[in-house]
Structure 1
Amino acid sequence: MTLVDSSRGILDCMQHVLRAREVDASDAQLWPLLGAPLRDNLAHFLPADQVASAAADYRAHYLEHAVEVTVAMPGAVELVDAIHAAGGTVLVVSAKHPVAVEAVLEHVGIRPDVVVGDLFAHDKAGPLREHAATAYVGDHVGDQQAAHAAGALAVGVTTGPHDAETLRDAGAQLVVGSLTELTGRVAELAG
Structure 2
Amino acid sequence: MYSGGQNLSVGPATVAGVGITVGFDLDMTLIDPRPGMAAAMNALGAESGLPLDGESFAANLGPPLDDILRGFEAPEERIPGLVDRFRALYPEMVVPITVALPGAAEALRAVRAAGGRTLVVTGKYGPNAQLHVDALGFEVDDLVGELWSTRKAGALLAHGAQAYVGDHLGDIRGALAADAIAVAVATGPCTREELAAEGAAVVFESLEEFPDWFARTFAGSAV
TM-score range, shorter chain: over 0.9
Select the structure of larger CA radius of gyration.
2
Greater per-residue helix proportion: 1
Tell me which of 21, 36, 45 is aligned to 2:48.
21
Change in Cα spacing, 1:173 to 1:52, as seen in structure 2 (3 Å) is same
CA 1:27/1:59 → structure 2, altered by over 3 Å: closer, same or farther?
closer
Q: CA deviation at 1:15?
A: 1.5
Change (3 A) 1:118 1:189: farther
CA deviation after TM superposition for structure 1 residue 19, in Å:
2.2
2:212 alignment partner AA = G
Stretches of structure 2 lacking an aligned partner (at least 5 in a row):
1-27
Offset at 1:55? 0.4
Between the two proteins, the alignment pairs up a number of residues equal to 191
CA distance in structure 2 between the aligned counterparts of 1:44 and 1:19, rounded to whole angstroms:
17
Do residues 83 (structure 1) and 111 (structure 2) align? yes
Percent of aligned pairs with the same amino acid:
38
For structure 1, the 5+ residue unaligned runs are none
The residue aligned with 1:30 is 57
Query: How many Å apart are 1:179 and its aligned residue?
Result: 0.2
CA distance in structure 2 between the aligned counterparts of 1:17 and 1:162, rounded to whole angstroms: 26
The yes-or-no answer on 1:120 pairing with 2:143 is: no
Q: Is the 8 A contact 2:38 2:55 kept in 1?
A: no
Aligned partner of 2:164 among 119, 132, 136? 136
- Per the TM alignment, residue 28 of structure 1 is displaced from its structure 2 partner at its CA by 4.9
User: Which sits farther off after the overlay, 127-136 or 138-147?
Assistant: 127-136
Contact 1:89-1:113 within 8 A present in 2 as well: yes
CA distance in 2, matches of 1:13, 1:124: 25
Higher RCO by CA contacts (8 Å cutoff, separation 6 or greater):
2
> Judging changes above 3 Å, is the alpha-carbon distance between structure 1 residues 37 and 53 closer, same or farther for their aligned structure 2 residues?
same
1:72-130 deviation line (CA, Å, top 9, x unaligned): 11101111111100011101000001101110111111020000000000000011011
- TM-score under structure 1 length normalisation: 0.94
Q: Is the alpha carbon distance of 1:186 and 1:126 closer, same or farther for their aligned partners in structure 2, counting shifts above 3 Å? A: same
In the alignment, structure 1 residue 64 sits paired with structure 2 residue 92? yes
Q: Is this contact kept in 2: 1:153–1:189, CA < 8 A? A: no
After TM superposition, give the deviation of residue 27 of structure 1 in Å: 4.9
RMSD between superposed Cα atoms in Å = 1.5
